[in-house]
Structure 1
Amino acid sequence: MESESVKQISECFIKACDFPENWKPTIQLTPSDLGLMSIHYIQKGLLFKKPPGLLSNAQECSAFLDRLKQALSVTLFHFYPLAARLATHKTQHPHSYVVYIDCINSPGAKFVHSRVNLSVSDILSPTCVPRVVEHFFDHYKAVNHDGHTLSLLTLQVTELTDGLFIGFSQNHCVADGTSFWQFVNALSQVFQDEKIAALNPPYLERWFPDGCGPLCSLPFTHHDQFISRSYEAPELVGRIFHFSAPALARIKSKANACCKDRGVNVSTLQALSALVWRCVIRVRGLQKDDMSSCNTSVNMRSRLQPPLPPNYYGNCIQTVGAVTTAGELLENDLGWAAAQLSEAIAKHDNKAAREKLMKWVKNPSIYQIGKLVNPGLVMFGSSPRFNMYGNEFGMGKALAVLSGHDNKFDGKGTLYEGHQGGGSIDVDLCLTPHSMMALERDEEFSDALHYF
């Protein structure tokens, strides 16, 4: 199956049907945007069973694609930065290196139609996610800086023998996961022929911390000074673990029972993250004195004072983590680990967020995966709170949410809304083959996973 190739049928570029009255020809990037220049695009997509009319009727399939293109053009009216490109303005005297979004000089967002001779079962039946899924997305291994020449958004529709996969590849410098799913939700809504007035339009005004902006000049003269493509992850396998609502309730209850004397009440997500953290570090076999951290992305929109609108469009996340030694993590109980995460997240308030941003402004740095990854790291991205399965595109509920090659490394977990619904959570976890085999045999992990 891995050798089965995805064949491109066609591609084109889609522009917004029009521009809103208050549109801007250029949009400046904030410190939160600029730090992501050297990491990959966000790649998330939805797998659907083909409706009967699309199974063998080429005319019906063509009509579906045309309708999706039209919906994309209309949705880009509200999300017009996604049809743009990145641009850089440089001067030597005085020195200035400013990267921004150019909303004029661009052919638009990209739309790709492709096909693969595989079935839905071929994708969902294997224990681990097939590598061919990485090619259901455009911008394979591209970093965000490549948005100077590549589209900031590509929608790729891949036909399977009995299914359709709609893959979205979006430049992470333009927006974070919250904004990513806001766009997908809007596109689905427009496709379903709902009134445009019913959309919750994005808030496109970029937010800069006090004393910064609206122009952030980077301390470089050429992008080779801050773009790195040298990191190659070791052989990895990705598996999606399904945690039912009863299993999550049991994990949370167990963690909070251990926290009774600590004065901490941990959330379901904190308890689940702590469980995965402990189990992954155990199967890696680290030494007691080796450092370990569990990092997660925190949405700062509501934490800032004054808060930003929930529909703020851009990057408004920061990475927060708990740090300890492998010995301390495993010698203590699940509640202790969950409490470390809970306390770290609770402390990351408006003051902490602004201090972190101003530290970046004084000494700008570009995140590079190769410098972040280490044997003690477990990191979570995305959120099960995003509305993923509400995007039906006229085909009913999706069968699965899957991701591409984006920013994957040993110990990376991607959190999805559970397909079962009802508060369930799916964790797409990447590990080395040896660690994955050991995790599947880990008693604490298996006990938590298989509770119904």
Structure 2
Amino acid sequence: MAGGVVLISSSIVRPGNSNQSGRTKIHLTPFDLSLLQFDYPQRGLLFPKPDQDFHLISRLKASLSLALEIYFPFAGRLVKTDNLEDNTVSFFIDCDGSGARLNHAEAKSISVSDLLQPNGSVPDFIKHFFPADDLKSSDGVTEPLLVIQVTEMKDGVFIGYCYNHMVADGVSMWRFLHTWSKICSSGLASEHQPLALKGWFLDGIDYPIHIPVSDAKRPSPTSGELSAVPITKEKVFHFTKKNISELKAKANSEVGSSDMTISSLQAVAAHMWRSIIRHSGLRREGETHCKVVVDLRQRLNPPLENNCFGNMISTAPATTTVEELLDHGLGWAALQINKFVRSLTNESLKSFAEDWVSNVKNLKSGLGSRMVGDTLVVASSPRFDVYNNDFGWGKPIAVRSGPGNSINGKLVLFQGVEEGSVDVQTTVWSHVLVKLLADVEFTEHVTIA
């Protein structure tokens, strides 16, 4: 490893109960399979340093083993089947107990203050705090579906992880992390309820879904394409409860509709969208997109349990021209996002799935273009309770996203430390960031962390 980070050990941690007689086979929906070529999402929590007698690694391993008994899909593997009769492949998750990977690393020269820079900048070395930054969902055939790295710093501990997005979404991953932390701090796993799998598949769609072999192959961008991409920088923008309240009130006053209420998240996303696109140098007649990741559990009919495990997300892509976005106000931009979020109904989701099976699309498109810079992707959610994950030596100090799926315009939203606040880890081209920080209209509604 690099960046002052040294790998000490790497091991496979299996569920404590190794009896696989009742192993589960999880079929994949179009919403899962559309993520086949996505990078493993990467998130991480920064903690204070525990006492020396805490036995950090051994306790984390033991409790992880117990947590994987409950969240057994994370200990499985992706299985690919070759369908020779029609030159296609299909996939499913085999919960075979193969295990998750846990890396132990040290960064003795790096302190908490090095990572939490006062201006909100995200240091380049943080990428070495996350494991497996080149894994895509399709790699789950040979690689663990969950990979964790525990990095001991000079005065802190960083627990970074990545997971296969076809197996779980942010809702499921943060619930797993909360369960793991409770087991580690208490040593008990018996009080936790059995895992509720999503148990959902659209009527009329046969599984396993067949995918043309050519579409299922892992894409590999040429070196020429990568060298032409401008340099991106990351910064954490902090929205206080007051910032958010003002943006929400402004957006709703501009909309002026009694039956259209702009949410806090939509107001923040619209503010970021307009501000970033304003400085991206795009043609006014060109299109721009804001893709918001949405939880589908309560949008289906009948709705699923809020805590069911699996990947249950889709993207609401608001699209307009650069001219329209910039010539209208915050409320108009937020309304475009609102309309597309509301359009994710049971009927529209079923239609999407049926169309996807017929055309097998979006497999190689990823999150968006690295080159154009016309798209914002709003991922994660400030509703996730990230600061209540205490493994037994103290609550997290901060939360960060890793380099996976990084494109210009990626926004990862987290709960802020103060109640009602939101942190937005923003990835943009470096020249756009310079202009953004000098934009008074943008900075008056945000705090530079």
* Fold match by TM threshold 0.5: yes
* Offset from partner CA, 1:46-84 (integer Å, 9 cap, x none): 001113x23xxxxx35x2211111111111111111112
Partner of 1:29: 28
Q: Which runs of 5+ in 1 are unaligned?
A: 55-59
Residues 233-242 or 427-436, more deviating: 233-242
TM-score normalised by L of structure 2: 0.92
Partner of 1:400: 398
Asked if 1:170 corresponds to 2:163, the answer is yes
In structure 2, C-alpha distance between the alignment counterparts of 1:121 and 1:35, rounded to whole Å: 39
Residues 264-273 or 360-369, more deviating: 360-369
Shift of 1:229: 4.7
Amino acid across the alignment from 2:58: D
Which residue among 356, 375, 379 is the counterpart of 1:360?
356
- The alignment partner of 1:192 has SS state of helix
Asked if 1:433 corresponds to 2:430, the answer is yes
Distance 1:200-1:240 versus aligned 2 partners, 3 A rule = farther
In structure 2, C-alpha distance between the alignment counterparts of 1:284 and 1:130, rounded to whole Å: 23
* Offset from partner CA, 1:310-355 (integer Å, 9 cap, x none): 1222211110021111111111111111111112211221111111
Shift of 1:185: 1.1
- The alignment partner of 2:298 has SS state of coil
Amino acid across the alignment from 2:17: D
Shift of 1:427: 0.1
In structure 2, C-alpha distance between the alignment counterparts of 1:160 and 1:220, rounded to whole Å: 44
- The alignment partner of 1:448 has SS state of coil
Partner of 2:175: 182
Partner of 1:57: none
Shift of 1:44: 0.5
Partner of 1:270: 266
Shift of 1:118: 0.4
In structure 2, C-alpha distance between the alignment counterparts of 1:162 and 1:133, rounded to whole Å: 15
Which residue among 373, 376, 399 is the counterpart of 1:378?
376
Residues 87-96 or 263-272, more deviating: 87-96
Amino acid across the alignment from 1:325: T
Alignment: residue pair count = 441
Which residue among 307, 314, 318 is the counterpart of 2:314?
318
Which residue among 216, 219, 228 is the counterpart of 1:227?
219
Partner of 2:151: 158
Shift of 1:113: 0.5
- 1:76-87 equivalences in 2 (<5 Å): 76-87=68-79
Distance 1:216-1:382 versus aligned 2 partners, 3 A rule = same
Q: Which runs of 5+ in 2 are unaligned?
A: none
- 1:13-412 equivalences in 2 (<5 Å): 13-18=12-17, 23-51=22-50, 53-54=51-52, 60=53, 63-93=55-85, 95-104=87-96, 107-116=98-107, 117-125=109-117, 127=119, 128-193=121-186, 195-220=188-213, 223-224=216-217, 227-230=219-222, 232=226, 234-261=230-257, 263-365=259-361, 366-369=363-366, 372-373=369-370, 374-412=372-410
- The alignment partner of 1:354 has SS state of helix
TM-score normalised by L of structure 1: 0.92
* Offset from partner CA, 1:104-136 (integer Å, 9 cap, x none): 3x6411111001120001100253111111111
Shift of 1:397: 2.0
- State whether residues 39 and 144 of structure 1, in contact with CA within 8 Å, keep that contact through their aligned partners in structure 2: yes
Distance 1:7-1:49 versus aligned 2 partners, 3 A rule = same
Partner of 1:448: 445
Distance 1:413-1:442 versus aligned 2 partners, 3 A rule = same
Amino acid across the alignment from 2:34: G
* Offset from partner CA, 1:258-306 (integer Å, 9 cap, x none): 1115752101111110000000011113222111111101100100001
Alpha-carbon RMSD: 2.3
